[in-house]
Structure 1
């Protein structure tokens, strides 16, 4: 089966759903928490209304999924994000702050990073999708071979047998796939105070979005548990209550 046919396109990016809204936040946390780490971005992009169904979200190129995850983050939690990267020269852990692109820029980036492919010699390489990453994660000892077999075709359209590739061909194909994906990724850049090296790394916006949800959802559940225990209100009533009012009631419980 050819994997070079265009996957289902993302929605038209109208009406992004706010994943910080209480009911949607808990739904997002519940669904993404049981998904494989490589698939969480697709789950969250779908819940944010940026793809009509999970199947199509899984078939988005990883660059497109990352741009849409960044859009979901900007909508729910703002554009400012922090990351940690390791200096490639001295190994020091560095913290970096970055502002995500504007919503308009992210929509443009997602559209531009749709199913893309490049020719490398006799081969055609396309950007991997989340579905490809999940397949690779299922066979960690063969991850590279799995990605090559799924994302690369020969000139005649036949799939590639990774065992028949030279190391040089594998390196060239890997570099081509990275170049396709990296063009749409948000990048962290920081100067290492230890050695002075300028360090750059791609920001995993899907992981950052999940981290924010994984912090916010349990905190919200704790609020609901405290208020339900104190006043006997239902979860639905508490989730429908404005955050400021919940906070005011919490102060009265704690005092």
Structure 2
């Protein structure tokens, strides 16, 4: 994994202003993990993609995750801290290694792969959850000798088995946090979206970096490249001296 400098971070953030959340997340992965291009990153399983984003998050901001939400029962604001390691459910796999799922149904064979980003983008264009699920599974079929042309015709027991095995092989793809309200004791599961979380933090850091550059450039006349090339420790010392 490649170190992400402040200059590179600002450039990725700026480019990401005109990109979708998924596109800029894939480009962040490509920049940070040498050897990947955008097509290879898009072909990573959802869990492997999000495992890489968690690794990037830890490298940029450390182990602690600050969380906040409102209780759906009473509206109380809840804040808590948890470690990144508590959400790491799978190891990062080489991009070339794509596990296959094999199923037997009535002595016929079905071979599938795990869903990736492109599958999700295609599925979310559809209206109903059932259509989305069927589209996702259809795209993941590698070969089949089953007596069904479409996933819609699969028995529910088979579709359930497929989804269960996909979740087992790619657990990072669906992360839920158990939350309990201290005010009313209501408990629920909250989906953790690493893409939204990480890019919110990157946006906040980018604004702080721009403020630092503005202050030091105005005070000392230093160019942006020199300011960003400094360590954050040295930069903070200069800023503290200006503010003292």
Asked if Structure 1 and Structure 2 have the same fold, meaning a TM-score greater than 0.5 normalized by the shorter chain, the answer is yes
What's the CA shift for 1:239? 0.9
Answer yes or no: is 1:130 the counterpart of 2:135.
no
What residue in structure 1 maps to residue 226 of structure 2?
237
Look at both structures and tell me which one has the larger radius of gyration over its CA atoms.
2
DSSP 3-state at the match of 1:128 = coil
- Segments of structure 2 that go 5 or more residues without pairing to the other structure are none
1:7 aligns with none
1:248–1:54 CA distance, 2 compared to 1 (3 A)? same
When structure 1 is superposed on structure 2, of 72-81 and 203-212 the one drifting more is: 203-212
SS of the equivalent of 2:234 reads helix
Q: Distance in 2 between matches of 1:127 and 1:175?
A: 12
Partner of 1:217: 206
Post-superposition CA distance 1:28-80 (Å, at most 9, x none) = 31343333223343222222225532221111111111111111111121111
Correspondent of 1:81 among 33, 52, 65? 65
The equivalent residue for 2:93 is 111
In 2, the alpha carbon distance for the partners of 1:208 and 1:155 equals 38
Aligned to 1:13: none
Counterpart Cα distance in 2 of 1:248 and 1:160: 66
Which residue does 2:169 correspond to in 1?
A: 180
Q: Cα 1:39–1:171, aligned 2, differ >3 Å: closer, same or farther?
A: farther
Match of 1:32 in 2: 16
The answer as to whether partners of 1:42 and 1:57 remain within 8 angstroms in 2 is yes
- Cα RMSD (Å) of the superposition? 3.8
Per-residue deviation at 1:100?
1.8
Aligned residues: 235
Q: Does the Cα contact within 8 Å between 1:187 and 1:200 map onto a contact in 2?
A: yes
Give TM-score scaled by structure 2 length: 0.74
Which position in structure 1 is the counterpart of 2:137?
Answer: 148
In the alignment, which residue of structure 2 is the partner of 1:46? 30
**Are 1:117 and 1:180, in contact at CA under 8 Å, matched by a contact in 2?**
no
Give, in whole Å, the separation in 1 of the partners of 2:89 and 2:172: 14
Q: Can you give the 5+ residue segments of structure 1 that lack an aligned partner in the other structure?
A: 1-15
Confirm or deny: 8 A CA contact 2:179 2:190 kept in the other structure.
no
* 1:107-154, Cα deviation, whole Å (9 max, x unpaired): 9612399523434554444321122223334x2436434323212456
Q: Secondary structure at the match of 2:92?
A: helix
8 Å Cα contact 1:188/1:200 also seen in 2: yes
Q: Give the whole-Å Cα distance in 1 for the aligned partners of 2:181 and 2:99.
A: 34
- Evaluate the alpha carbon distance shift between residue 50 and residue 159 of structure 1 in structure 2; reply closer, same or farther with a 3 A threshold: farther
